[in-house]
Amino acid sequence: MENINEKFKKVALVHDYLNIYGGAERTLRVFHEMFPQAPIFVLLAEKTLTEKFFLGAQIHTSFLGQLAFFWQKRKKLFTPALPVAIESFDLSDYDLVISSSSAFAKGALTSPETLHVSYIHTPMRFVWDWYFNYLYEKGSVPQNFLGRFLARIILHYLRMWDKESSLRPDLLIANSLTTQGRIKKYWGRESFLLYPPVEIEKIKQRKNPLTDDELKEDYFVVVGSLSPFKKVDLAIEACNKLGKKLLVIGSGKEKNNLQKISGPTIKFMEYLSDEAVYYFVERARAFLMPQVEDFGIAAVEAMALGTPVIAFRTGGATESVKEGVSGIFFEKQNADSLIDAIKRFGEIENNFDRNIMRRSMEKFSKENFKKNFLDYLDCLEIIN
C-alpha cells in the first residue's frame, strides 16, 4: 500500500449515487478505507447516509445536488442529464481515479496522464438486458404510446453513451463472471475479475454465534431492497402456498404491495444493524434468492454464516453457491419452481455442513479484495 501511495499522490473516487446503501456502496466504502484521503465524487448524496457510512469523507456532488428537491419529485425527468452531470467533475489534477460504476461513474472524464480504473458492478442494465422490462414496468415509464416513444429515444441515447463511455477507463474490473460476460457482449471490452468484498472477518467476530450443536429455527429468510427486480413476491407466494414461515428483511417501494399478498406466515422487518441481520440469517433454515444478481453479497454473507442458499440458477449465484454443499438451485423464475426447490431442500437439509460452508466463503473476504485490487494496480503501473 505504501508503494501505491508513493506512485499515486492524488487519488479520487467516483460513484453513481449515495442515496442507498447496498452492495455497490459497501464496495465504495472499502475503497474509501484503502484511500481515506481521496475525495468521493457522486451525482447525488443523502446526508444521513454519508454521515453514517462515510463520516469524515470529502463528498463532492454534481450540479444535481443543487436540484435535490426537484430530483426527489421528478427523478425520471433528470435521467438524460446524468451523463452530463458525471462529466462535469474536473478530475484533471488526479494521478489515479477509481470509479465504482453501475451506470454512470465509469464515464467520468480524466486527463491523458491520469490512470482510470473502473470497478464495474454491471453495465447500465435498464438500457441493455432490462430494456423491455423497464419500458413496460409501471412507475418507470408512462404506460402510453407517447410515454414509451419518448422513453425509447432517451434510452437509445443512454445506450450509445454507455457503450462510448466504457472506452474511457484504462482498466475495467468486473465484479463477477456474469458481469464480465455483459461487458464483453455490450461493450466489446475485456476485463479482469475481482469479486466484491464481503465482511468475512466481521461475521466471524459477530456476537451470539450459533454453536454447531444448536438447531436452526423454523423459518426462511430474504434480505434486500424491496424492489421489483428482487422478485420477493415469488418467495412470498411459495411460502404462502407451503405454509412456511418467511422473514423479509428490507424496505423499498414494493413493500406495501408485498404486504398485501402476504399470508399469516410472512413477517416483515425494516433494515436492521449488521449484527441483527447476522442473527436472523444465521438461524434461518435457508436464505431464498429468487432474483438475478450481478454477484449477490447478501447470499455470500448467508453462506458465511452457515445458512444454505436456495437460488435461481443464473447470474452471480452460480459463482458462489455450490449445489449440495452451500445450497441448491431452482431452474425457472416462478413460484412453482421455487416450491419444488424448498421441498427438495427439506429432504437434504441435514446434509449441509455449516463449517464447510463457512470456509468456502473465505475467498470473498474484504482482505482478499484489497490485496487483489492493489495487485491489479501494480500490474497496470508496470505495463504503463
Q: Are residues 189 and 328 in the same domain?
A: no
- Residues 95 and 63 reside in one and the same domain: yes
Would you give per-residue pLDDT tens digits along the chain (384 residues)? 656 666 788 999 999 999 888 899 999 999 999 999 999 999 999 999 999 999 999 999 999 877 765 656 566 677 889 999 999 999 999 999 999 999 999 999 999 999 999 999 999 998 998 877 777 776 566 677 777 788 899 999 999 999 999 999 999 999 999 999 999 999 999 999 999 999 999 999 999 899 888 999 999 999 998 988 899 999 999 999 999 999 999 988 899 999 999 999 999 998 789 999 999 999 999 999 999 999 999 999 999 999 999 999 999 999 999 999 999 999 999 999 999 999 999 999 999 999 999 999 999 999 999 999 999 998 776 555
User: What's the one-letter identity of residue 283?
Assistant: R
Q: Give, rounded to a whole angstrom, the gap between the first and last alpha carbons of the chain.
A: 19
d(CA 44, CA 287): 32
What's the confidence (pLDDT) of residue 272?
Answer: 85
C-alpha span between 119 and 173 (Å, rounded): 5
Residue appearing with cell numbers 414496468: 137
The rounded distance, in Å, linking the Cα atoms of 43 and 137 is 25
Q: Which domain holds residue 27?
A: 2-123+166-197+365-383
Query: What b-and-e string marks burial along 156-187, b requiring 16 or more CB atoms within 10 Å of the CB?
Result: eebbebbbebbebbebbbbbbebbbebbeebb
188 shares a domain with 273: no
Q: Would you state the pLDDT for residue 106?
A: 99
Q: What is the per-residue pLDDT for 1?
A: 61
Query: Do residues 67 and 215 both lie within one domain?
Result: no
Closest residue by Cα to residue 139 from 256, 44, 234: 256
CATH of the domain at 378: 3.40.50
Classify residue 189: in a domain, yes or no. yes
DSSP string, 307-365: --EEEESSTTHHHH--BTTTEEEESSSSHHHHHHHHHHHHHHGGG--HHHHHHHTGGGB
For residues 381 and 384, give the distance between their C-alpha atoms in angstroms, rounded to a whole number: 5
Q: Within this chain, do residues 81 and 20 fall inside the same structural domain, yes or no?
A: yes
Helices (H) and strands (E) in the chain, counts: 18, 13
